[in-house]
Amino acid sequence: MKVTLVSRSGREFIKGGLELHDSATVADLQEAIYKRTKKFYPSRQRLTLPVPSGSKERPVVLSYNKSLKDYCDGNQNNITVVFKDLGPQVSYRTLFFFEYLGPLVLYPIFYYFPVYKFFGYEGKRVIHPVQTYALYYWCFHYFKRIMETFFVHHFSHATSPLSNVFRNCAYYWTFGSYIAYYVNHPLYTPVSDLQMKIGFGFGLVCQLANFYCHIILKNLRSPDGSGGYQIPRGFVFNIVTCANYTTEIYQWLGFNIATQTVAGYVFLVVATSIMTNWALAKHRRLKKLFDGKEGRPKYPRRWVILPPFL
Ligand SMILES: NC(=O)c1ccc[n+]([C@@H]2O[C@H](COP(=O)([O-])OP(=O)(O)OC[C@H]3O[C@@H](n4cnc5c(N)ncnc54)[C@H](OP(=O)(O)O)[C@@H]3O)[C@@H](O)[C@H]2O)c1
């Protein structure tokens, strides 16, 4: 089978194209491209079918486990494929590991080390119990997320662009330092003992609920890594589509009730708006996938995320 490879501008990408056996899969084509170019490894490649010029249709993305013949449309021995370089990639595990490692390492620095000397505070620092519990709570949260990344989540996408590592690390590392600075500050004023206990107690219950939500999501995927989406059911998922984001938001609320800083609440607002946008997209995708037509199940009536009661 002859495969002609063109760039998105229509220029020939590999001179003379590639010759593959008739039963070749998209994965075989990706390997052949890598072998020839020595640069574009499979996860860097986005392969699509050409769309007629002027058409507003979205191009069909070639799925790596399908046979090339499935895309040939009658002409069995010749296919034109559009190649796009997605840029350097990293695994999702690497991305998540680095974004969570920052807050896990940076926060204790503000607690244990005399960093405030560099900000002009020379006096002796008195550590309040809430600051110690906040440290444990924070570290438990990010340690849990790293463990979930390696041992719980079954990601459907193997890799993410390298540039996302810098963007996501900037987000988590900056917010981590910002909150750590204020919660551990020598002039920090603690809340009442009761408020602290309510905040941490509630937050901890939500962290455990969040872990349980991730176990439910993990069990929706078969361990062979075949991906695909199912209707999440059980526990808080019976009420909201993104129960994991809901419990994540509430556990940050618990942390903020206990520690009460502007920095913490700013993070809560930003994280809530990010997760709400993602939740809306996930809810739309599940409703589209499970539309109740042609034997497909119908997605049940559910909130998207709580709050803000969408
Ligand atoms: N503080 C913050 O700013 C913030 C922001 C985002 C996330 N988080 C935390 O990080 C956790 C993970 O975030 P995430 O965005 O990766 O969560 P997510 O997309 O909702 O899902 C976590 C895992 O479950 C899979 N999954 C989700 N819905 C599924 C379905 N219907 N059927 C089968 N599998 C499904 C996902 O697969 P795919 O790989 O296909 O997506 C992913 O591997 C969140 O739950 C939250 O606790 C915090």
Specify burial of residue 30 (Cβ count, 10 A radius: 0-12, 13-18, 19+): buried
Write down the pLDDT at residue 39: 92
Our answer on whether the CB atom of 197 is closer than 6 Å to any ligand 1 atom is no
pLDDT tens, N- to C-terminus, the chain (310 residues): 899 999 988 899 898 899 999 889 999 999 999 999 999 999 999 999 998 877 888 899 998 888 998 888 766 788 999 999 999 999 999 999 999 999 999 999 999 999 999 999 988 889 999 999 999 999 999 999 999 999 999 988 879 999 999 999 999 999 999 999 999 999 999 999 999 999 999 999 999 999 999 999 999 988 766 668 999 999 999 999 999 999 999 999 999 999 999 999 999 999 999 999 999 999 999 999 999 898 899 999 999 987 655 5
Q: Helices (DSSP H) in 113-219: which residue ranges?
A: 129-151, 162-183, 193-218
Which of 213, 217, 230, when mutated, tests ligand 1's pocket best, judged by the most ligand atoms within 8 Å of its CB?
217
Ligand 1 atom nearest residue 157's Cα: 39
The whole-number pLDDT of residue 310 equals 56
**Burial class of residue 75 in the structure, from the number of CB atoms within 10 Å of its CB (0-12 exposed, 13-18 middle, 19+ buried):** exposed
Residue indicated by tokens 């501008």: 9
DSSP 247-265: HHHHHHHHHHHHH--HHHH
| Ligand 1 pocket, residue 156 CB under 6 Å | yes
Asked whether the beta carbons of 46 and 60 are under 8 A apart, the reply is no
pLDDT in tens, 189-224: 999 999 999 999 999 999 999 999 999 999 998 876
pLDDT for position 146: 98
How far apart are alpha carbons 184 and 12 in whole angstroms?
59
Please check whether residue 246 is in contact with residue 254, taking contact to mean a CB–CB distance below 8 angstroms: no
CATH number 3.10.20.90 given to 2-87: yes
Distance (angstroms) between ligand 1 centre and the Cα of 214 equals 8
* Ligand 1 pocket: which of 206, 244, 266, 267 to mutate (most atoms within 8 A of CB): 244
Distance 275 CA to ligand 1 centre (A): 10
Q: Which pLDDT does position 226 carry in this prediction?
A: 65
CB of 275 closer than 6 A to ligand 1?
A: yes
Q: For the residues of 211-259, what is the DSSP string, one character each?
A: HHHHHHHHTTS-TT---------SGGGGTBTTHHHHHHHHHHHHHHHHH
Any atom of ligand 1 within 6 Å of the Cβ of 210: yes
286 CA: nearest ligand 1 atom: 31
Q: What is d(CA 179, CA 191) in angstroms, rounded to the nearest whole number?
A: 16
Q: How far is the CA of 242 from the centre of ligand 1 (A)?
A: 9
Distance 42 CA to ligand 1 centre (A): 24
List, for residues 102-113, the tens digit of each pLDDT value: 999 999 999 999
Please report, in angstroms and rounded to a whole number, the separation of the first and last CA atoms in the chain.
Answer: 51
296's CB contacts (< 8 A; 6+ apart) are: 289, 290
CA–CA gap between residue 84 and residue 46 (Å, rounded): 5
At 41 the pLDDT is 94
CATH 3.10.20.90 positions along the chain are 2-87
The residue behind tokens 């926060």 is 107
| Dihedral angle, C-alpha 112, 115, 117, 121, nearest 10 ° | -80
Does residue 220 have its Cβ closer than 6 Å to ligand 1? yes
Query: CB of 271 closer than 6 A to ligand 1?
Result: yes
Ligand 1: residue of 150, 248, 276, 280 to mutate (most ligand atoms within 8 A of CB) is 248
Q: Can you state the angle between helices 243-259 and 193-218, rounded to 10 degrees?
A: 160
Interatomic CA distance for residues 40 and 77, integer angstroms? 25
Element (H, E) at 278: helix 262-289
Strands 78-85 and 2-6 come out as: parallel
